[in-house]
Structure 1
Amino acid sequence: MGTGPAYPPFSDAKMVVPGVATQLVELVLQGLDYQVEMRRQPWNRLMREARNLELAAIYPYVVTPERAKDFLASDPLFHIKLRFFGLADDGRDWDLGSAEQPVRLCRPNGYALNEDLRPYLQHHEEIQWIRPNSLESCFLMLERGRVDLIPINLATGRYTIKRTFDTPPSIRTIELFEDDATLHLLVPKARPGAEALLERFNRELARVKLSPAGKRIYEQVDQFLSQEPLIPQ
């Protein structure tokens, strides 16, 4: 089974506890009495190895039409709030539906583009995608004026800002496009017994969500999102 190196607070090698999604998945696997070898490597490599049946499952992923062709998705592990992050003193009134306004968007390699955002951008001819290997790089480039906006979920964006900067620049969430999505464990459709595996996983996931240990995991995310904003809103 595999997960990625940097998607805090859900899965992240640099955290003392390696992410709330990892905690949740491990609880589910313990309840199923599964012995699992966990790999942590780049998101695109995880996807490739899972398609080649080198991994039984990968997490946490947003489901896209491309991924749905090859993978079955678990019930939601977490709900996430998608936002745009930009500099507070930028001064521009962003309208991503306008084909005339150039914009540089930063999305790390392996991060999916939200499906509801795609039609919003399809007629925009002046979008330049910047694709570094990490979200930290996106925020450093934002600080230096090399990118304009970063589409990312609120929890991951806030956590990354806090970890990247000793003194954060003035960053805000911009109300261009707000949407919610869900994170899932993905199982390759070509894997023998994939549907049965996912059925067992979902049944145990439902039990874990109601357990004291499961509730503590979700409280970690809720507590983080209910803190005083790290950035101006």
Structure 2
Amino acid sequence: MRHLIAAWLAMWCMTAWAAPPELVIATNDYPPYISADPRQSFIGELFERIGKDMGVKFTFRFMPWKRCLVLLDARDVWAVVPFVSTPERQQRYLLSDTLYARRAKFFYYDQPGRSWPGANRDLAELRQFRIGGVAGYWYEELFKAAGIALDLANNDPTNFRKLQAGRFDLAIADENVGNYIIRTEFAREAGRFHSLETPYYRSENVMMVNRDLANAELLARFNRALDNLRRSGAYDDIVSRRKLVLLPVGS
């Protein structure tokens, strides 16, 4: 009997102290949404809560966006995040429910003698301005279709430095990312940065995994845990505490 109890206790200890399964996610440093710095990582906190609900541990590996997709296709990581849902991606991968909905805006820096439109209805109305963006971002083809040549930088902070230096008139950026860059890199001149009243583009960001049965089951559990966070109010608490401007999902 003592041997049976000892065996049971050993099995209980192994179960109780066993580390939860690990799921590796490829991403890029993109504060305030995702960052190696937990203070600037909305997704990091969100996924920690989701992982506890699912009984798994999410581990993030940071790399360039294109490399994220290479590793996903090679099945070297379980998922990539955050990506914008597109018809092509919907066919190729399994997509999670919306993690967050955000908008892009046009930012400008005070320049003597320059005036800016109070509102605009479409992209074509901004052809009179020189516009900066980031190479490889989702909006390149949209600008090309509108006949607008972009001054392209390698990343968002460089794009804003060029804007501040007067290399162009407007910089397109995610609203929260733009506000974060202004607050952290241009603190003394933050009051000279503004944005046009009309938001340019609304998008919903998701997590993507490869198509197979095991992933479909895991993704269903992930979506349930995400929904639980929203229903409990914990999701809104995280957004509010981090002072993010997010849009209602599905609006």
Structure-2-length-normalised TM-score: 0.74
Letter in 1 for 2:220: E
Work out whether 1:12 is the aligned partner of 2:35. Answer: yes
1:155 maps to 176
1:107 maps to 134
- Partners of 1:50 and 1:206 in 2: how far apart? 25
Aligned length: 217
Letter in 1 for 2:97: D
For the Cα contact (< 8 Å) 1:64–1:112, is it kept in 2? no
Instruction: Please report how far the alpha carbon of residue 144 of structure 1 lies from its aligned counterpart in structure 2 after TM superposition.
Output: 0.9
1:97 maps to 124
Cα 1:29–1:176, aligned 2, differ >3 Å: closer, same or farther? same
Instruction: Please report how far the alpha carbon of residue 154 of structure 1 lies from its aligned counterpart in structure 2 after TM superposition.
Output: 1.4
Unaligned runs of 5+ in 1: 227-233
1:2 maps to 25
Give SS of 1:172's match.
Answer: strand
Instruction: Please report how far the alpha carbon of residue 160 of structure 1 lies from its aligned counterpart in structure 2 after TM superposition.
Output: 1.3
1:219 aligned to which of 213, 237, 240: 240
Query: Could you list the per-position Cα deviations for residues 159-207 of structure 1 after superposition, in whole angstroms to 9, with x for gaps in the alignment?
Result: 1111111312512112455332222111122x55222221111011111
Instruction: Please report how far the alpha carbon of residue 57 of structure 1 lies from its aligned counterpart in structure 2 after TM superposition.
Output: 0.8
Cα 1:72–1:153, aligned 2, differ >3 Å: closer, same or farther? same
1:87 maps to 109
Query: Could you list the per-position Cα deviations for residues 13-67 of structure 1 after superposition, in whole angstroms to 9, with x for gaps in the alignment?
Result: 3x44241111111211221111343212222211221122111111122212343
1:210 maps to 231
- Partners of 1:35 and 1:4 in 2: how far apart? 16
- Partners of 2:60 and 2:234 in 1: how far apart? 21
Query: Could you list the per-position Cα deviations for residues 106-143 of structure 1 after superposition, in whole angstroms to 9, with x for gaps in the alignment?
Result: 1254x4329xx82x75131x4134031x2111111111
2:159 maps to 138
How much identity, in percent, do the aligned residues show? Answer: 23
- Partners of 1:99 and 1:216 in 2: how far apart? 37
Instruction: Please report how far the alpha carbon of residue 4 of structure 1 lies from its aligned counterpart in structure 2 after TM superposition.
Output: 3.3
For the Cα contact (< 8 Å) 2:105–2:174, is it kept in 1? yes
Unaligned runs of 5+ in 2: 1-23, 247-251
1:58 maps to 80
Comparing 92-101 with 56-65, greater Cα deviation is found at 92-101
1:201 maps to 222
For the Cα contact (< 8 Å) 1:96–1:121, is it kept in 2? no
Give SS of 1:49's match.
Answer: helix
> What's the C-alpha RMSD, in Å, of the aligned pairs?
2.9
**Larger Rg computed on CA atoms:** 2
Cα 1:97–1:121, aligned 2, differ >3 Å: closer, same or farther? farther
- Partners of 2:38 and 2:217 in 1: how far apart? 33
Q: Which one has a larger percent helix, Structure 1 or Structure 2?
A: 2
2:94 maps to 72
- Partners of 1:198 and 1:52 in 2: how far apart? 19
